[in-house]
Structure 1
Amino acid sequence: MTYDLTDRTAVVTGAASGIGAATALLLARSGATVALLARRTERITGLAERITADGGRAFAVTADVTRDLSEVVRTVHDTCGTVDLVVNNAGVMLGNPVVDGRTDEWKRMLDTNVGGVLNVLDAFSEDLVAAAERGPSDLVNISSVGAHQTFRDFSVYTATKAAVTHLSANLRTELGPLGVRVTNVEPGITESELAGHVDNTAVRQTLATWFESAGHLTSAEVADVVAYATSRPRHVNLRHLVVLPTTQV
């Protein structure tokens, strides 16, 4: 299914795979011009070529959301002008017992899942506020159902997602009056590359058990939620969306 996002200009972070890639595909098919941001240049270049071959408009911008994004902003502006839709999707999910003291993982998740969201917000908030004077303007943060639920061995990951959810709620109070819609999306168990980042065999087995017992969403199904929310009339803000496999509790 596609939606009407004609003449919209979007930035999608973490666009190399999973929810980011699926969202970029659907936004482009719905008429948006999409800047694909990720560290893996080859992956986003291939995705841009796929979108273009399909009749859409997209371009790849190599970016690490944990670092300064001023050059990325210049590239986006030079290529397609100002942005009116930002999907803050880049993230990493790492799991280990907290008593293992994996401070390397904790820092990586805090830097990407929280710091990266703030960096992207800082980079494109001016665009979003300016765009809201002309038409729809959207900031979408991809959080997780883990922001509210507890998952053994994922304490720090879920804490970072709780930060994203609470940040989104507060941003709504600041940006909403300026005409910028803020949407927080909390997916449940979703098929993606995130589970592959876990280096603990026992924790990986736990993840596999969750997938088998509760089922899972596809990345395209989460992307559909993003596209639906951002295609509503400009005065309608779906601010907090939780999307789960029906059998996940």
Structure 2
Amino acid sequence: MNQLNTRIAVITGASSGIGYATAKLLASRGAKVAVLARRADILEKLAAEITAAGGTALALPVDVTDQASVDAAAATVEQTWGPADLVFNNAGVMLPGAIEERDIAQWQHQIDLNVTGAMRVISAFVPQLTKAAAAGATVDLINTSSIAAQNIYPYFAVYSASKAYVSHLSRHLRAELGPKNIRVSVVEPGCTDTELQGHFTFPGALNWLAGARETITFLQPENVAEVVGFLAEQPKHVNLQQVVVMPTNQAS
């Protein structure tokens, strides 16, 4: 069933993991999907897969650390299909490390992408969401956070703080945008098998990851994509503001 066949969806961080899986799922349910990320070749492959399966996709290479890049993508979406009514704000990076290493470049990269990048996407697309809601559409802004926003993990301080920002931001935005009929949700996944773990270099984090894989069956990106689809398919007056999705055998 094409339950989302009137929706115009934007997915950031769409070149891998949760974003890639979510783009395919939303398209399979009828949404037009604009896929945004830096890696143009992977976006084109994703768009081709969606089109071959009977869906509609638009590949837009974007760097969410560059406001002009995000604004240009937003303009293209609206010019092509009209205002977006579903934004999955998902781009992010995880670079654990000890604070005493003083790796300021890694700290800054996580903040630029996870915090300021998320804000750039919101800045670019909230006008479209507002316009779509005023026209009577069902409208969603869904932000990707992490269970790390709630729990404490050694070596993940900066990443966890960046995700706590996203979670708390989402709660505030819901209070601000809900009266305009824009649903705001935050998804906080536990351990999920994505490219993020491939960026680890700090030995303490690598040891933690190896231990986690021995005891936890990690979520797959498709599992989180199903949650995003579920949020988008709720009746217009229903807003799940925060969803924590965890592997069954991950305690915290």
TM-score, normalisation: structure 2: 0.96
Q: Which residue of 2 aligns with 1:98?
A: 99
Q: Does structure 1 retain, via aligned residues, the 8 Å contact 2:148–2:164?
A: yes
Aligned partner of 1:89: which letter?
N
Moved over 2 A (4+): none
Aligned partner of 1:178: which letter?
K
Q: Which residue of 2 aligns with 1:33?
A: 32
Matches within 5 A, 1:113-124: 113-124=114-125
Say if 1:3 and 1:183 are closer, same or farther in 2 by CA, change over 3 A. farther
Matches within 5 A, 1:48-87: 48-68=47-67, 69-87=70-88
Matches within 5 A, 1:197-208: 197-208=199-210
Q: Which residue of 2 aligns with 1:45?
A: 44
Distance (whole Å) between structure 2 residues aligned to residue 35 and residue 123 of structure 1: 14
Give 1:7 shift.
1.3
Q: Which residue of 2 aligns with 1:191?
A: 193
3-state SS of paired residue (1:152): coil
Distance (whole Å) between structure 1 residues aligned to residue 167 and residue 197 of structure 2: 21
Ranges in structure 1 where 5+ consecutive residues have no aligned partner: none
Give 1:217 shift.
0.4
Query: Identity over the aligned pairs, expressed in percent?
Result: 46
Ranges in structure 2 where 5+ consecutive residues have no aligned partner: none
Aligned partner of 1:150: which letter?
I
Matches within 5 A, 1:1-249: 4-68=3-67, 69-133=70-134, 134-249=136-251
Q: Does structure 2 retain, via aligned residues, the 8 Å contact 1:52–1:58?
A: yes
TM-score, normalisation: structure 1: 0.97
Q: Does structure 2 retain, via aligned residues, the 8 Å contact 1:137–1:180?
A: yes
Aligned partner of 1:51: which letter?
I
Q: Please give the per-residue CA displacement for 1:100-125, whole angstroms capped at 9, x wherever unaligned.
A: 11111100000000001100000000
Distance (whole Å) between structure 2 residues aligned to residue 3 and residue 31 of structure 1: 5
* Farther-moved stretch of structure 1 (46-55 vs 66-75): 66-75
Distance (whole Å) between structure 2 residues aligned to residue 229 and residue 77 of structure 1: 23
Distance (whole Å) between structure 2 residues aligned to residue 3 and residue 238 of structure 1: 21
Give 1:3 shift.
6.4
Q: What is the RMSD computed on CA atoms of the aligned residues?
A: 1.0
Q: Does structure 1 retain, via aligned residues, the 8 Å contact 2:40–2:59?
A: yes
Q: Does structure 2 retain, via aligned residues, the 8 Å contact 1:18–1:193?
A: yes
